[in-house]
Amino acid sequence: MTPPRICALVGRFTDPQVAESAQAVLAHLAGRGVTVRVDAAAALAGGPGATGVPQSELGRGADLMIAVGGDGTLLYAAGLVARHGVPLLGINRGRLGFLTDVMPQDIPECLDAALAGRLDADERPLLSARLHQAGAADRDCLALNDVVLQKLATGRMLDFETRVAGRYVNTHAGDGIVVATATGSTAYALSCGGPIIEPQLDIVVLAPICPHTLSDRPIVVSGHSLIEIRLLERPDTRAQVTCDGSVLGTLATGDRLEIRRAAERITLLHPPGHDYFRLLRSKLHWGRGDLER
């Protein structure tokens, strides 16, 4: 990794804890002669060491994106840099923090490691979702964690069918379905009974949400698969599609959602010695003894 000279910084800076860590990042990088970009509309934009730019320009030309907050903040940052190939570093000021694994007290040491090119690079695949709606232009989005089809507003179950690589899989009745990467296997898919997948595995998890049929269980398919979802006729049916929590659009009867592996990838940066299974033990409170065993 080339030593970063231009960094982008994102976070919910109105949160005092986030602002505190963001100021520490700004001060440290300014002392190292690094330019730091922030959203021109953000609270930090007028402060010392911060260069305000339009949100859409944060990732363009940057050498490093730093997300301060929880996993939701990192997913937002991933959307800003996914098409620019900018590596992403997460500083945890959230709750669980599967993706933001730098603790506030380690900011100076970790930033110096980033400037020296000593962080561990971890490439993660993205999902590309395309929504085909009758009479409307197709809509696309990228997702690091998951693409979710879920019922909207009416409270009624959805009827929908799934196909994988052109082959019919099932007709589902329930609240929707989560299509997750290995990275997203510890997010919404996990609460739907899906498995935890080691991030390096090239797979996709299909996890039904509150299925009406108890045998409708999560399945794991190849990451190369094209996944198609069609909404079937049911009175007063409305469904919504989200990518990492951001709304892509609504799905009506006969519309089609296509999900496949994206050409783009995200590079996450971790402190040296990062261990995924140690992370799981810490976040999920596994083990009865020493977490470092």
Residue pLDDT, tens place only, 100-116: 989 999 999 999 999 99
Query: Are 115 and 157 within one domain?
Result: no
Residue 210 domain-assigned (yes or no) = yes
Catalytic sites, residue numbers:
71
Q: Residue 68 in contact with residue 10, Cβ under 8 Å?
A: yes
Q: What is the CATH number of the domain that holds 251?
A: 2.60.200.30
Whether residues 109 and 175 fall in one domain: no
Instruction: Tell me, yes or no, whether 171 and 133 share the same domain.
Output: yes
Q: Give domain status of residue 291, yes or no.
A: no
Model pLDDT, residue 44: 76
290 found inside a domain: no
Q: What predicted TM-score, i.e. pTM, was given to this entire model?
A: 0.92
Residue 29: band (very low, low, confident or very high) from pLDDT cuts 50, 70, 90: very high
User: Based on the domain organization, do 250 and 137 belong to the same domain?
Assistant: yes
Confidence of residue 290 (pLDDT cuts 50, 70, 90): low
pLDDT value of residue 242: 97
Name the residue with tokens 């695949």. 125
pLDDT digits (tens, 9 = 90+) for 165-185: 999 999 999 999 999 999 999
- Lowest model confidence (mean pLDDT) among 55-64, 192-201, 220-229: 55-64
Domain count, the chain: 2
Within-domain flag for 292: no
Whether residues 173 and 246 fall in one domain: yes
Q: What is the pLDDT of residues 35-44, one digit of tens each?
A: 999 998 887 7
Higher-confidence position of 1 and 93:
93
Instruction: Give the residue-averaged pLDDT of 23-30.
Output: 93
Q: Is the pLDDT of residue 192 over 90?
A: yes
Closest among 252, 217, 215 to 236, alpha carbons compared = 252
Residue-wise pLDDT for 236-246, tens only, equals 778 999 999 99
Identify the pLDDT of residue 131.
96
* One domain for residues 95 and 190: no
| Confidence category of residue 46, pLDDT binned at 50, 70, 90 | low
Neighbours of 62 (CB within 10 A): 24
CA 189, 193, 195, 199: dihedral to nearest 10 degrees?
20
CA distance 225 to 165: 5
Domain boundaries, position 41: 6-119+271-284
Confidence of residue 45 (pLDDT cuts 50, 70, 90): low
pLDDT digits (tens, 9 = 90+) for 201-221: 999 999 999 999 999 999 999
Helix pair 16-31, 107-115: axis angle to 10 deg: 40
State whether 156 and 112 are in the same domain.
no
Return d(Cα 259, Cα 158) in angstroms, integer.
Answer: 19
